[in-house]
Structure 1
Amino acid sequence: MTWLLLVVGLVLLVIGADVLVKGAARLASNFGVPALVVGLTVVAFGTSAPELAVSVKAAYSGQAELAIANVVGSNIMNILFILGLSAVISPLLISRQLIRQDVPIMVALSALAVFMAYDGSISRVEAGILAAGLFGYTFFLFYQGKKKGVDVVDEEVEEMLKTNVPMWQNILLVIVGLVLLVLGARWLVQSAVELATAWGINEAVIGLTIVAVGTSLPELVTSVVATMKGQRDIAVGNVVGSNIFNILCVLGISGVVSPTPLLAGEQLASFDIPVMLGVAALCLPLFFIGASLNRIEGLLFLALYTAYVWILIAMTLSLGYLAQLQTAVLFGLVPVVVLYVVVALVLDLRKRRAQVST
């Protein structure tokens, strides 16, 4: 029954987010809100709706560590698994804006999360700073979009707003979407806590794995479908944007509404959140090289995610080979990734210099 609740909760979260985005986007359009603003606010918030619903429910119910673990696990999965899988399917193109603006913002926010959680918790004041940053970032995106021109709108948003639907139907979609999100979040958090109790493990581990994977399903579907359609830049932008919103929106809002500070246990503070920062920082050099993410780099991402989850399971179950596994990853896989990045950067810089000289 617990597993059934978990699966149903995940399904309701995904469907609820989709229904809510469609209803809210069209409702905003009914009130004369420009398509650009709808794309930068309603649709952007919608991709993080499952994470937000789960983290707010967890924080308000007293499972404060689950709230942070959900965000950290989702961000790690978004980069290593979703981008890795998408790149293996087809090499991804990286836009100049992502390299110069969005990825550095993602890295900076990940570093801020490490700093805030260093003492073992994220207070309401710190969460308030993140929430304020959310409004500042949204305003910045809106200003940037207006500067580029109002016609620069995502095709999916334009297609969504083309459909002429009565206002009452849009209001109904918003209500249904919210109800599904609330129910999905309640059942998912309840089943996650029951599983953690039954297995005798920390709630954070469930949040970093099962819950994080479930709430990242919309990003997974969006990125893989975009890649298969040949929209290879959308796949990357979707993941980076989602990670930024997860930190600002999900951590910020769940921390503000939580009656107690969001907890970051020793493992979260010293291992998982730094891993989130590390994989975000890894994007900077890899995205810079050739403004793309090739299949080899996609496989490296998948290998890193497999190693991370494997270590997580070994730590949770106190497996006897944990020390050997950590040594193999630290002195085997990680140096291979670092060596690849250094060699690729050197070759890319030589290629750029050769192009300039000719």
Structure 2
Amino acid sequence: MVVASGLIVLGLVVLVVGGDLLVRGASGIASLMGISPLVIGLTVVAFGTSAPELAVSLSASSGDAAEIAVGNVLGSNIFNVLFILGISALVTPLSVASQLVRLEVPFMVGVSLLLWMLSMNGHLGHVEGSLLFGMLLVYIVWSVWQSRRESKKVVEEYKEEFDKPPKSLWDSLLQLVWIVLGLIGLAYGSQWLVDGAVMIAKSFNMSELLIGLTIVAVGTSLPEVVASVMASIKGERDIAVGNVVGSNLFNMMCVLGLTAIVVPEGVPVPQTAIWQEFPVMIAVCAVCLPIFFTGGRIERWEGAILFGYYILYTTYLVLGAVGSPYAPILGKVMLFGLVPLTVLVLTISVLTALRRKPESPVSEGIEEADAG
């Protein structure tokens, strides 16, 4: 038990450090190549913060812990929206001016539904993986094209954060060193984390899927936590939201897609995930639609709802794992009580937003983004 806990802690630390080094190095090289800071933030950084998920999923699927790979992606996506967006909005309301981010939200819901349909047969093979990864390439090209139409406000926000090209030859070489060290850290950290997670799952008779949904998902999402919360504190609201949405898209199209391509047997998808975790992830992504429809703004009360749901969802998973009789009760309370109430509140919020006058700050923000 001590060894397993030590491996998990060590793996998480090495993963977080490795992911940070990879993002730092890749951002520097991309900036040196003349790639715009907006594209760097929406693609390079989003991929970099999802690198721990990719490393863990490849490591888990290559071994005998394939369920961790699926649980890791589903759990990370749920964690990203409910916990990270919730915490970031509690720090400061997130008023998103980026037209690109708002367009990514319905795309995220669509990819979630497609991934669910592809997983219905209990397996993601090379064909499904190729389709997902091909969509990723199209998404990157679309992001680069769409970024040229963004408003000056959004472009300046990303420029301030990511326009940091290497200043000398030594600085450029240092970026390459960061990339190499980051990749090494991701390789070793992911293996240690998976080994520790499997040991704990066997010790407590817990499923690998549950371990992937909780411990592994939270651990591999730490880079997103740091990136989004720090961006929120600094007032970089588009970055805070764009990082979460972009990371979710990379998790589904790159992490699961590439894993299904690389691993000879593909990725098995447990029935529990198909009928429980997938609907939860899709519902969580869909919740973002009315929130962004009300002008791309996440208020503190909406952040509190998201954060509260994550606490309840995690509690439900833990109670179910230990066989508590309260787990079914909590599940029914959330399904038949809190979910309809949330739908009602968000519907009222949307209707209220539709009645706002054109000269309102929200409408002005949208017009500014469209004009850009």
Q: Tell me if structure 1 keeps the 8 A contact 2:42–2:246.
A: no
Shift of 1:324: 1.4
Q: Tell me if structure 2 keeps the 8 A contact 1:311–1:326.
A: yes
Q: Is 1:320 aligned with 2:325?
A: yes
The normalised TM-score by structure 2 is 0.89
- Percent identity among equivalent residues? 43
Residue 227 of structure 2 corresponds to 222
5+ unaligned residues in a row in structure 1: which ranges? none
Residue 144 of structure 2 corresponds to 142
RMSD, aligned CA: 2.3
Shift of 1:334: 1.1
Counterparts of residues 67-82 of structure 1 (less than 5 Å): 67-82=69-84
Q: 1:260 aligns with which of 260, 265, 290?
A: 265
Residue 93 of structure 1 corresponds to 95
In structure 1, what is the Cα distance between the partners aligned to 2:359 and 2:162?
Answer: 41
Q: Is 1:187 aligned with 2:192?
A: yes
Residue 293 of structure 1 corresponds to 298
In structure 2, what is the Cα distance between the partners aligned to 1:149 and 1:224?
Answer: 23
Q: 2:342 aligns with which of 310, 318, 337?
A: 337
In structure 1, what is the Cα distance between the partners aligned to 2:220 and 2:357?
Answer: 40
Letter in 2 for 1:119: N
In structure 2, what is the Cα distance between the partners aligned to 1:41 and 1:176?
Answer: 21
Q: 2:59 aligns with which of 57, 61, 70?
A: 57
Shift of 1:39: 4.7
Residue 366 of structure 2 corresponds to none
Q: Is 1:199 aligned with 2:204?
A: yes
Residue 368 of structure 2 corresponds to none
Q: Deviations over 1:38-96 (max 9, x none)?
A: 55543332111111111111111132221111011000000001111111121111235
Q: Deviations over 1:253-280 (max 9, x none)?
A: 1111112121221211101011100010
Instruction: Call closer, same or farther: CA 1:289–1:45 in 2, change over 3 Å.
Output: same
Shift of 1:5: 1.1
Letter in 2 for 1:86: S
Q: Is 1:164 aligned with 2:168?
A: yes
Counterparts of residues 5-44 of structure 1 (less than 5 Å): 5-28=7-30, 32-36=33-37, 38-39=40-41, 41-44=43-46
Q: Tell me if structure 2 keeps the 8 A contact 1:99–1:287.
A: no
The normalised TM-score by structure 1 is 0.92
In structure 1, what is the Cα distance between the partners aligned to 2:128 and 2:168?
Answer: 42
Shift of 1:168: 3.5
In structure 2, what is the Cα distance between the partners aligned to 1:27 and 1:247?
Answer: 25
In structure 2, what is the Cα distance between the partners aligned to 1:307 and 1:25?
Answer: 36
Letter in 1 for 2:59: K
Shift of 1:197: 0.7
Instruction: Call closer, same or farther: CA 1:331–1:147 in 2, change over 3 Å.
Output: closer
Equivalenced residue count is 354
SS, match of residue 201 in structure 1: coil
Instruction: Call closer, same or farther: CA 1:308–1:148 in 2, change over 3 Å.
Output: closer
Q: Tell me if structure 2 keeps the 8 A contact 1:39–1:154.
A: no
Shift of 1:148: 5.7
5+ unaligned residues in a row in structure 2: which ranges? 364-372
Q: Tell me if structure 2 keeps the 8 A contact 1:188–1:211.
A: yes
Instruction: Call closer, same or farther: CA 1:23–1:232 in 2, change over 3 Å.
Output: closer
